Amino acid sequence: MKEAIWSVDPIRGIGHRDPRDPDQQMLEIELRPQRAPLRRLILDHLAGLPERQASLDHLRSFVLEQTINKPVHATAVVRELVTANDLRLETPGRLKGSSMIHLVATPMF
C-alpha cells in the first residue's frame, strides 16, 4: 500500500494524512516528500526509548509500522539528523541496519 501511495502522480494533487501524526499534517504527494514531519516523529520516538537510542533497523520498522512513510525515508532522515548533530552514530562510518543511533538532545517541538 505504501508503495502505491508514494508512486501516485503528483500532478493530480492527491494528499494523505498520517493518522498517527498528532499534528495531522496533510501529506502532499510530491517528487520529494516533506521530511520535517518524519524528522519530528523519529526524534520524539527516540526520546521515549530507554537510553534514547535505537538501531536503524528499529527506526525503519517504526516508520513502516507507525507512519505513512516508507523505511527508506527513515534512512534519509537519520542521515540528515546525524549531519545536523541532532543524532549521533555509535560507530562513525557507513550507516547500516545495525548502526546504533543516539538522540543528542531532547526535541523541542
pLDDT digits (tens, 9 = 90+) for 6-18: 665 443 334 555 5
Which residue type occupies 79?
R
Burial string for 9-42 (b: 16+ CB within 10 Å, else e) reads eeeeeeeeebeebeeeeebebeeebeeebbbbbb
95 by Cβ neighbours in 10 Å (0-12 / 13-18 / 19+) ranks as middle
pLDDT digits (tens, 9 = 90+) for 64-87: 999 888 899 999 999 999 999 999
**Would you list the domain boundaries of the chain?**
2-103
d(CA 104, CA 109): 15
Model-level pTM? 0.71
d(CA 73, CA 89): 18
Secondary-structure class of domain 2-103 per CATH: mainly alpha
Q: What is the three-class DSSP state of 2?
A: helix
